A and B are shown apart, each in its own frame.
Chain A
Amino acid sequence: NAGVMQNPRHLVRRRGQEARLRCSPMKGHSHVYWYRQLPEEGLKFMVYLQKENIIDESGMPKERFSAEFPKEGPSILRIQQVVRGDSAAYFCASSPRDDGYTFGSGTRLTVV
């Protein structure tokens, strides 16, 4: 079992571009969570998804951010028109139900 796979590990985008972060959950896990870690801070919850459904997006910024978890393929966190304040590490976790996380290694987004 390869664990939770996130790619890319590092992503550099210019202001105004789009960032797409991918998360492949562990085999058999149908729940995916996205968290953002700002420098020198802890994790902040963003969104919780099950296959083809957004369960809780209370931590997502109202604009430019979206997430999906299609029937086939990885979960995608999409950030449109990135700004410098979006620079952070984004972590994905998966679980077979609504607890019991396994974390990925994160994607570090740098906006230049």
Chain B
Amino acid sequence: AQSVSQHNHHVILSEAASLELGCNYSYGGTVNLFWYVQYPGQHLQLLLKYFSGDPLVKGIKGFEAEFIKSKFSFNLRKPSVQWSDTAEYFCAVNARNNDMRFGAGTRLTVKP
């Protein structure tokens, strides 16, 4: 069955530190990949998505993610985090049959 794994449940960083959140999925076919962010008290927002083409995807607010097909991974990165990046981050995988699965989420806390 299709599944999405986010390795880190809670990540704590200081401002200006680099961020990488892991996301692995299990699905053998073609997929679309997403990262969503939920800021405290707000609803989900789309950070970035990958459908095809360049496996390095740029999103909003300085985030990027790299699709590595051989590793079934779609890790989220940001070179230098800010306090305002404190949020919960969800990875999601949408198979071409439109069956979508979410990871359990990673809570990021950025200390000022």
Contact = CB atoms under 8 A, between A and B. Distances in A.
A101 B46 contact: no
Given A100-B105, A106-B100, A40 B43 contact: no
B112 interface: no
B98 A43 contact: no
B32 interface: yes
- Give the size category of B's interface with A: 20 to 34
B100 A37 contact: yes
Interface in B91-107: 92, 94, 98-102, 104-105, 107
B100 A89 contact: yes
Interface residues of A, number: 21
B89 to A, nearest CB: 11
Nearest to B41: A98
Interface string A1-45: 000000000000000000000000000000001010101101101
Contacts of B41: 98-99
Contacts of A43: 36, 44, 46, 92
Interface string B45-89: 010010100000000000000000000000000000000000010
Given A91-B100, A108-B98, 11 more contacts: A33-B43, A37-B100, A39-B98, A42-B49, A45-B44, A56-B43, A98-B41, A102-B104, A103-B102, A106-B100, A108-B99
